[in-house]
Amino acid sequence: MIDVCVSGAGGRMGQAVVGAVTREDDMRVAMSVDPTLGGQPDSYENLTAALASGTPEVMVDFTIPDTVFANVTTALRAGVHVVVGTTGLTDDQVAEIRALAEGGTANALIAPNFAVGAVLMMRFAAEASRHMPKAEIIELHHDRKLDAPSGTALRTAGLMEGDPVVHSVRLPGLVAHQEVILGGHDETLTIRHDSLSRESFMPGVVMAVRAVRTRPGLTLGLEPVLFGTP
């Protein structure tokens, strides 16, 4: 049984993670962390208090950019593997997380998007960019998303050739959507992915929880897990 700590359990993504972990036969929610959950069983206002009560095997973090780095480093130093869906980490912070994961006993997996279709979209866009000369990315998210461009869009652009321009849209009614539009000689190619609810991310999160325990150091993206690469 994999004991999981859900950090950000009071948020929309955190609630979905709690539900997804609870439905699996080989894992359970051992503790929930969120300032809004005070007084509930096995719930804590911060990660330090949670880890003082026990040591889960894996922490899943869906919080906010201001707190994710402290959460991840605290968990790694405590020997807890981490799966991170919160975006907004800086390059320097990722480098420090890598150093902690490679130098300690706990591993880390950071992914900008856990939807399997989104991972495929990024892979197809990277391949297409080698054959078409220009591309632009349009990412569309709900108006409560704090960062722009999204982590998925930045990851997609980083995988593609030609340094594509990224456009961000924030509107109520959206969840998470991305189009990659590539242009060639008298033709265009559009690759689009739509997450219709937060449940679309849960199979990837569960996959990452199982995988992070056996992937030494830092894994960036869900692609290595999905495609079986280092």
So which residues are the catalytic ones? Answer: 141, 145
In the chain, the amino acid numbered 219 is T
Residue 59 φ then ψ, to 5°: -110, 135
Question: How far is Cα 120 from Cα 49, in angstroms, rounded to an integer?
Answer: 38
Question: How far is Cα 91 from Cα 114, in angstroms, rounded to an integer?
Answer: 20
Question: How far is Cα 75 from Cα 227, in angstroms, rounded to an integer?
Answer: 27
User: Which residue carries 């006993």 as its tokens?
Assistant: 105
Strands 81-84 and 58-61: parallel
Tell me the three state secondary structure of residue 52. Answer: helix
DSSP 73-116: HHHHHTT-EEEE------HHHHHHHHHHHHHSS--EEE-S---H
Tell me the three state secondary structure of residue 165. Answer: strand
Q: What angle do CA 31, 213, 226 make, to 5 degrees?
A: 110
194 C-beta neighbours (distance < 10 Å), count: 16
